[in-house]
């Protein structure tokens, strides 16, 4: 415990413009998550997973405040996150996220309809998932977590490279099972849909709209193809020497990153320069640097 407080006092991060930006993102994300629960998930008895889902189940039997239970339940996970996710820097952001989320969960009660916006389980699962995922994504963009299964998901992601959506399914399986016993198995199935949609929505927020395409072009007319891309599309091209595994013949591979809107154009240009070229178009989650989003730390 002494080392815990020693780290807090000696490694306090400095307040910068980025710190205020993170505080805003985390607070906004916590508010959006709380709205998703109060408007869609809690009225429909759809477990949100993690500590929040467990709090919903306990509330069903006891009427204890969900926000307060979320705050208390996050304490052991907070200590776990301290150990594996970055000490004081992690602690301050996560403490803010958990405190704000817990506060909004209980503070919103007088201001939202007790029965939610709809009784349709499908709508509640989909809209609850999308909106809560937006909140999760904003918290992640603020370099924090919302506590609960978010901490376990981040640890799994750092340890095994598991995506956010997969991590939620792994860490929240037990909560959904308990929700099935408590509410109904139909609700549990819709809760799984909600968790998956939430993970996809969080990833979309984190990645933004900067989804790019990669083009791998194998051609015998390297100069003509690369010149068309450079001059007519003003995109950079990387030339990679290669060798065919079957024939052993020397080949040239051109590598280029383009936007989604430029896919049809690059196909046409390559076809004009070398109709015999072989091309593979792939997805890139994000492109940073010249011609795309600036690369920042």
Span 16-72, pLDDT tens digits: 777 788 889 999 999 999 999 999 999 999 988 788 888 999 999 998 999 999 999
pLDDT number for residue 89: 61
Instruction: Report the pLDDT value the prediction gives residue 206, as an integer from 0 to 100.
Output: 77
Q: Give the CATH number of the domain where residue 256 resides.
A: 3.30.70.120
Q: Using 50 as the pLDDT threshold, list the residues of the chain that sit under it.
A: 1, 4-5, 7-9, 297
Report how far residue 101's alpha carbon sits from residue 94's, in angstroms, rounded to the nearest whole number: 10
Domain assignment present for residue 295? The answer is no
pLDDT of residue 125: 93
The number of domains in the chain is 2
Domain co-membership, 83 together with 226: no
The answer on 62 and 28 residing in a single domain is yes
| ∠ CA 209-126-73, rounded to 5° | 95
* pLDDT score at 162: 64
Say if residue 262 is in the same domain as residue 157. Answer: no
Residue 175 in tokens: 């909560």
Residue 9 is predicted with a pLDDT of 47
Task: Identify whether 177 is part of a domain.
Answer: yes
Q: Is residue 289 part of a domain?
A: no
Give me the sheet containing 250-259, strands edge to edge.
238-243, 250-259, 212-218, 278-284
Tell me the three state secondary structure of residue 246: coil
Are 151 and 184 part of one and the same domain?
yes
Do 97 and 226 belong together in one domain? no
Residue 165 forms part of a structural domain: yes
75 and 187 in a single domain? The answer is yes
Say yes or no: 106 and 152 in one domain: yes
pLDDT at 5: 46
- The CA distances from residue 218 to 151, 166, 247, 281, in Å, are 44, 35, 14, 12
Triad 24, 49, 165: Cα angle to 5°: 75
Question: Are the beta carbons of 77 and 152 closer than 8 angstroms?
Answer: yes
Place of tokens 């969960």: 105
């Amino acid at each position: 415990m002494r080392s815990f407080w020693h780290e807090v006092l000696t490694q306090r991060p400095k307040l910068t413009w980025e710190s205020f930006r993170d505080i805003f993102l985390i607070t906004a994300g916590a508010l959006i998550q709380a709205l998703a629960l109060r408007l869609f998930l809690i009225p429909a008895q759809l477990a949100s997973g993690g500590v929040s889902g467990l709090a919903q189940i306990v509330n069903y039997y006891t009427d204890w405040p969900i926000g307060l239970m979320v705050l208390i339940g996050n304490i052991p996970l907070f200590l776990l996150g301290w150990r594996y996710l970055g000490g004081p820097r992690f602690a301050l952001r996560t403490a803010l996220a958990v405190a704000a989320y817990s506060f909004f969960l209980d503070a919103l009660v007088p201001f939202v309809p007790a029965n939610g916006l709809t009784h349709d389980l499908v709508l509640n699962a989909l809209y609850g998932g999308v909106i809560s995922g937006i909140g999760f994504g904003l918290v992640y963009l603020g370099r924090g977590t919302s506590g609960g299964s978010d901490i376990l998901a981040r640890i799994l992601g750092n340890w095994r490279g598991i995506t956010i959506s997969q991590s939620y399914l792994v860490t929240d399986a037990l909560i959904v099972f308990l929700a099935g016993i408590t509410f109904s198995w139909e609700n549990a199935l819709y809760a799984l849909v909600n968790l998956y949609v939430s993970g996809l929505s969080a990833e979309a927020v984190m990645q933004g709209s900067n989804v790019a395409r990669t083009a791998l072009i194998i051609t015998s007319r390297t100069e003509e193809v690369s010149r068309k891309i450079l001059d007519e599309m003003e995109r950079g091209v990387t030339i990679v020497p290669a060798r065919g595994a079957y024939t052993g013949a020397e080949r040239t591979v051109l590598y280029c990153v383009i936007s989604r809107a430029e896919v049809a154009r690059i196909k046409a240009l390559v076809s004009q320069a070398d109709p015999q070229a072989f091309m593979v178009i792939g997805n890139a989650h994000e492109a940073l640097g010249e011609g795309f989003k600036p690369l920042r730390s």
